Structure 1
Amino acid sequence: MPQLAIDKDFLQEFAKLDKPVQNRVSEVFAKFERATHTGLHLEKITGARDDRFRTIRIDQFWRGVVLAPASGDSYTLLRVLPHDDAYDWARRRRASVNTATGGIEIRDVAALDASMPHMKRMAASAPTLLFEHVGDADLHRLGVDEQTLTFARTLTDPFQLEAAKGLLPPVQWEVLYGLAAGLSPEQVWDELGATIVEGSVDPDDLDAAVRRSSDRVLLVEGPDELMAALAHPFDLWRIYLHPVQRAVVEASHRGPARVSGGPGTGKTVVAIHRAHRLARAGRRVLLTTFTSTLAEELRASVGLLAETDGRGDAEEVLGRIRVEHVDRFAHRVFREEHGQPELLSPQRERRLWERVVADLGLDLSPAFLSEEWRQVVLARRVVSAEEYLAAKRTGRGRGLGAAHKARVWQAVTVFRELLAEAGLWTHETVAEEAARLLAAREARPFDHVVVDEAQDLHPGQWRLLRAAVAEGRDDLFVAGDTHQRIYGPQVSLAEVGINIRGRSSKLRINYRTTAQILGWSLGLMHGQSVDDMDGGLDSVAGCRSEMRGEEPVLRGWATWEKELARLVATVRAWVEAGVLPAEIGVAARSNRVVDQAVLALEEAGLPAWSLADGSVGDAVSVGTMHRMKGLEFRCLAVVGAGGGQLPAPRSLTPEDEDPGAHARDLLRERSLLFVACTRARERLSVSWHREPSPFLEAVLPS
């Protein structure tokens, strides 16, 4: 029985078609399976380089281009174009099967043939060639065929390869791009490893190739699934996963597993697909993250994924997934036993520590004691003086002798007594109590826990999640990037009962940001020691983007008024260039700067709203760097990146009070800027007044 497949490039173009054409495409292909079976005519194309291309009539003006296999039942819809354009597109191209991945490939043969004479002349006079260090055997092993190999041997500069992206088969282009970026053939092979086909590949079996190509082709199971795909053409993440992402989603492990990767590499997409896949298998899943805003986005995304996969059981699948941020989950478990907790405010906490310091006559600051309580006592579940004397104090910076430790423990004991007398709790102690309650139960509430933005959770929250699911196969799945940690402290998962050793994977290809923006942003973190949540150090080395664009625009101004005026001019220029206001973001360190930026844009006649106020439709989004977490924009302006604003003075523990906390605060502030800048997809502007932030020193032109 014929089955329709939808090519990824078509779905991207489908969104740009006029509504009547979209409707007609839906009508024609909704009955494709039945009509093809009864003999619907697919026209051959005179003069085509590949006689397996066909056209199908949409209406009098529009035609679809379909790849029809010589044998097999998979018909792939490649394009819908005006009549003449459809025939021209098909005549220029050829389909093939990648010998390494076994996947389907489409290439512009006419453009490659036309460029070859000029490319060969340039190569003949060039002192070096781009791939002269890579042998033919390695290129063939990586799936590079003869035509691409011939073209590659003429390249002299990476720019030529970038210009050829639309001509070459995507996987072969990615192989060449990786080699040009400095990866060895073995490293490129590792990245292709998730999709390498064992054994030989039949280069003429297009039907099998289409069925292997889930990264670019959707096999439609009937008209309902087709309609679901066409209803949301921009949400390609629902359908097409990179083979490496799909391998992570579908992998099964004996215990907890983790996926890491730089910004924009698709960690959240992987987490959503994995939660959905587990729920579809009939399992109870907790999908959780650090903040309520991110939890709402996860809830919307997993709902869309369930509703548009065309299987008609979305409500049943969603009923098995609880999407809830981790503090809300902790409080819900706590309330079941104790009722609503009375939370300790930061102001009252400081007053209590000041009272403890005064009553005991200590020479330690309230800030130091507060951090010691959180980072050591709570983090390591210390309950006695003996345990505290033996406890690790990794990252605390200030060493303590036995006598000092005794006095600290005395202060912690008094502080705990004050909390107990007043019936006060913190989010950390609520999480610890909830973890204790769950661990004491015979039955656990979930079969699997999937965690997004894992780097921001504190140890008590990890113990809660560990207690929420019994130890076993695929019990915990953790997604995060410690370079983007802006909330939680450094955590070793092994120390909170979560062993991921040997079950970690890393995503390296950035799908959000241009190479220029990504490279500049990575420079912000250069030289910083960042943990990997597993007892070692993490690295963003190898994280790359295959999209090219403009370099970030960096500019300092004499006054805040001039910087604001430039912000208005920048946003106006983006809008006049065709960027929608809703596709523009403005990030700042403080709420005060956010309010001033919103006012300046509104007074200039540009629609703007604060992320703190909720969505208002088609307007520029202005928010603090914290609120930018999880968002993305075509164009982004970071304002107020000056030395007096970033790092924010009030967010830094004085170095003489607590060197360890001071160092962590600095890294957290640097990570905030990194997170904000990597929200930009195409254009990034960074500005300041007076002196630039010290974080910018390494990335400003000398």
Structure 2
Amino acid sequence: MSKSEHARRRLETQARQLIESTFTGLDSLHRNVLTGLLSRTGAGWRLLVKTALPSDDGRSADAFLIGRTGVLALLITDKGPDGETANQILRQAKERFAGIPGPQGRSLAESAIHLVVIGSGAGGPRQDGVYWSLTESSLDRIFRRDALHLDGRLVARIAEQAERRLHGYRPLAVRQPDRAPEAAGLLDAGELIEDQLGAAQRRPFDSWLTFLHPQQNAIVKRDYSGPARISGPAGTGKTVVALHRLRHLARLSTGPLLYTTYVRSLPPVIKTSFDRLAPELDGRAEFTNLHAWVRRFLTEREVRVNVDRAQIENAFSFAWIAHRDRLQSIEPNVDYWRTELDRVIKGRGITTLDGYLAITRRGRILPLNASQKELVWGLYEHYQRSLTKNGAHDHYDLIELGRAELVRQPLETPYAAVVVDEVQDIPLCGLRLLRELAGDGPNKLLLVGDGQQQVYPGGWRLSDAGIPIQGRGEILKVNYRNRAEVLTFARRFDATNRVDDLDGADGVALRAAESASAGGTTATWRGGSRDLPDALVGAVRGLPVRRDHSALIVFQHKDLDRCLAILRAAGIPTLALDKYTGETDGKLKVGTVHRAKGLDFEAVLVLENTQENGAGTQAEEERRELRGRQHLVAATRARDFLWWGVLDEPTTE
């Protein structure tokens, strides 16, 4: 028997003896579960057990467990409680722990308290979102290392407050024999290494799983009479609030939940975080990007869709060849006109020339008069004819087909709540679909975003999509993600905002955000393509944190290919951001700023290519503004360390 196993057995023996001497008449289920929980107090967990056990009162928790995975109210029974009883137990637990102070002026969030029902038979997570169902044999799921997010200091702070608040409960603990009290929690050298590894793999600042700022906590619990919006600068916890609110709403309803966004790389990472926050909701909440949801929906409805990238590119190429001579005299860059079709015409669902002539092209600096718009409309019609001729659709057609199908036949089982993150990048046609999907009912639709972090061209207001949010808008202003030095660096970027606060009012820029985290480190490099390999590899190898907690972000695909080749030659393993799920894998995450949206890392390396910068026309000014917002997004992905590299000489391809 290993030393670690021997120590564990001795703790279990201590725990069983203490339970048997403290309580008489316990059934085997209570005795075994409490013994298993109590033995963990030798590793730093804190346990408070109801004084009167056994008890006929099944309407309050039998015990409370506090540790690195958070706060758990425990009910030990083979008969799961009904919804009313479960909610009453959870409500009492929330009341008793309300307001316990945490780091950075935050307090323990009601939505962070877990209700766990432990029985002897087979059991799985309930689908009503109120409690997590476990068995004697699955107790270890409570202590899983991938869910650690609190350190010993915060555990002790919560436990000390709880002991004063929980009348009718007594603290019970055991400690490793022959070890001084201050060393309790580390069973032997082997367990010390394991514990340190677990701590190293934790993402810093993950105390958000338990603690929220009072303003954030109020938003989580607020009752909205219709669609609501959360905005605020980067790092202010918008997604954190959205996830806590999703869990809160799940406890008040029984229907499915949806989290969606425009970026396909974000939902898998958010799902990993949400599974840690709300393990009892396993399978009830869906995390997917907007286009993936529409594709699945149309497939289920047997609506034919043919989104083929090659056919889309060919259709536009033929249209451009036919119309470029007239359009290049207005703006020579073909990408500008592609964006006009995508984001202004199709993204807004415009299908007639009169409709195009009538709109204000929000987010576009280059003015177009009526005759110029007619030229653009010719390009659009040629493009659409080519798609139709080949039976093809682009991504905007996909969204419109989805909306039309929803109007024809709404979902048989509607979503209890829909959360839309990074909403500033969703096209207007997508917003209209989401409104149709969620409806205008109370607490049904939550829109989360920040106009300064818009990484795609164009702009709109929520009112353009017919989404009323008057009186239901929230603005967060305290940055919890970026340490002070990183935040100072990010504030230098002139990220002009074309989406305002998402409905036309003045928003809060990153420069006005309050900083909650001191420290941080930044470094810069500037040089030519010949020097880039040594600089980039040196920066990666010199990272002050684990490589798999870090990311490299670029702004153009050609620079992504260049950097990947350099890292591959140096033997540095990488993972594309669009394949990242938030799990630890030993690889540096790599991708464009579009794939980094909504994510954050302990350390970030950014490569800017000065070839991207232009000057002169109003269209170029629009591109510079867009790049400024993209630079801000890239910089604010870093929590502790930011390396900013500038490639400032022409490259030969």
Q: Which residue of 2 aligns with 1:643?
A: 610
* Structure 1 pair 260–374 and aligned structure 2 pair: CA distance change class (3 A): same
1:453 and 2:425 aligned: no
* Structure 1 pair 571–436 and aligned structure 2 pair: CA distance change class (3 A): same
Q: Which residue of 1 aligns with 2:99?
A: 103
State the Cα distance separating 1:514 from its structure 2 match: 0.6
Paired AA for residue 687 in structure 1? G
Contact kept, 8 Å, 1:276 with 1:306, in 2: the verdict is: yes
* Structure 1 pair 221–285 and aligned structure 2 pair: CA distance change class (3 A): closer
Q: Which residue of 2 aligns with 1:339?
A: 304
1:619 paired residue among 584, 587, 599:
587
Q: Which residue of 2 aligns with 1:544?
A: 514
Q: Deviations over 1:82-125 (max 9, x none)?
A: xxxxxxxxxxxxxxxxxxx98345xxxxxxxxxxxxxxxxxxxx
Q: Which residue of 2 aligns with 1:478?
A: 447
1:556 paired residue among 513, 526, 535:
526
Q: Which residue of 2 aligns with 1:499?
A: 468
* Structure 1 pair 28–515 and aligned structure 2 pair: CA distance change class (3 A): farther
Q: Deviations over 1:584-613 (max 9, x none)?
A: 322233444445444545555654455467
1:214 and 2:186 aligned: no
Whole-angstrom CA distance in 1 between matches of 2:622 and 2:18: 59
* Structure 1 pair 561–504 and aligned structure 2 pair: CA distance change class (3 A): same
Paired AA for residue 543 in structure 1? A
Q: TM-score, normalized by length of structure 2?
A: 0.67
Gapped runs of 5+ residues in structure 2? 27-36, 52-59, 69-96, 119-132, 150-205
Whole-angstrom CA distance in 2 between matches of 1:284 and 1:400: 45
Paired AA for residue 427 in structure 2? H
Contact kept, 8 Å, 2:315 with 2:387, in 1: the verdict is: no
- Indicate the structure whose relative CO is greater, using CA pairs within 8 Å and at least 6 residues apart: 2
Q: Which residue of 2 aligns with 1:189?
A: none
Q: Which residue of 2 aligns with 1:489?
A: 458
Q: Which residue of 2 aligns with 1:295?
A: 267
Contact kept, 8 Å, 1:555 with 1:686, in 2: the verdict is: yes
Gapped runs of 5+ residues in structure 1? 1-17, 41-55, 81-100, 106-169, 175-191, 196-212, 693-702
Whole-angstrom CA distance in 1 between matches of 2:10 and 2:219: 37
State the Cα distance separating 1:399 from its structure 2 match: 3.2
Whole-angstrom CA distance in 1 between matches of 2:142 and 2:477: 27
Aligned CA-pair RMSD: 4.4
1:588 and 2:483 aligned: no
Q: Which residue of 1 aligns with 2:645?
A: 687
Which residues of 2 match residues 214-363 of structure 1 at below 5 A? 214=109, 218=113, 228-231=141-144, 232-234=147-149, 236-280=207-251, 281-307=253-279, 309=280, 314-315=281-282, 318-319=283-284, 321-335=285-299, 336-343=301-308, 345=310, 347-357=313-323
Q: TM-score, normalized by length of structure 1?
A: 0.63
Contact kept, 8 Å, 1:514 with 1:681, in 2: the verdict is: yes
Whole-angstrom CA distance in 2 between matches of 1:498 and 1:34: 61
* Structure 1 pair 330–665 and aligned structure 2 pair: CA distance change class (3 A): farther
Identical pairs, percent: 26
* Structure 1 pair 357–329 and aligned structure 2 pair: CA distance change class (3 A): same
Aligned length: 517
Whole-angstrom CA distance in 2 between matches of 1:19 and 1:328: 47
Q: Which residue of 2 aligns with 1:127?
A: none
Whole-angstrom CA distance in 1 between matches of 2:14 and 2:398: 57
Q: Deviations over 1:21-65 (max 9, x none)?
A: 89998998999999876799xxxxxxxxxxxxxxx9979987777
SS at match of 2:492: helix
SS at match of 1:686: strand
- Shifted more, 519-528 versus 423-432: the winner is 519-528
Whole-angstrom CA distance in 2 between matches of 1:689 and 1:535: 37
1:674 paired residue among 624, 632, 635:
632
1:378 and 2:273 aligned: no
* Structure 1 pair 263–252 and aligned structure 2 pair: CA distance change class (3 A): same
SS at match of 2:250: helix
Q: Which residue of 2 aligns with 1:467?
A: 436
Whole-angstrom CA distance in 2 between matches of 1:570 and 1:522: 23
Whole-angstrom CA distance in 2 between matches of 1:32 and 1:487: 62
Contact kept, 8 Å, 2:112 with 2:209, in 1: the verdict is: no
Paired AA for residue 332 in structure 1? R
Contact kept, 8 Å, 2:319 with 2:382, in 1: the verdict is: no
Paired AA for residue 424 in structure 1? A
Contact kept, 8 Å, 2:235 with 2:481, in 1: the verdict is: yes
SS at match of 1:338: coil
State the Cα distance separating 1:518 from its structure 2 match: 1.2
Whole-angstrom CA distance in 2 between matches of 1:507 and 1:383: 37
State the Cα distance separating 1:67 from its structure 2 match: 9.4
SS at match of 1:687: strand
Q: Which residue of 2 aligns with 1:389?
A: 357
Contact kept, 8 Å, 2:232 with 2:450, in 1: the verdict is: yes
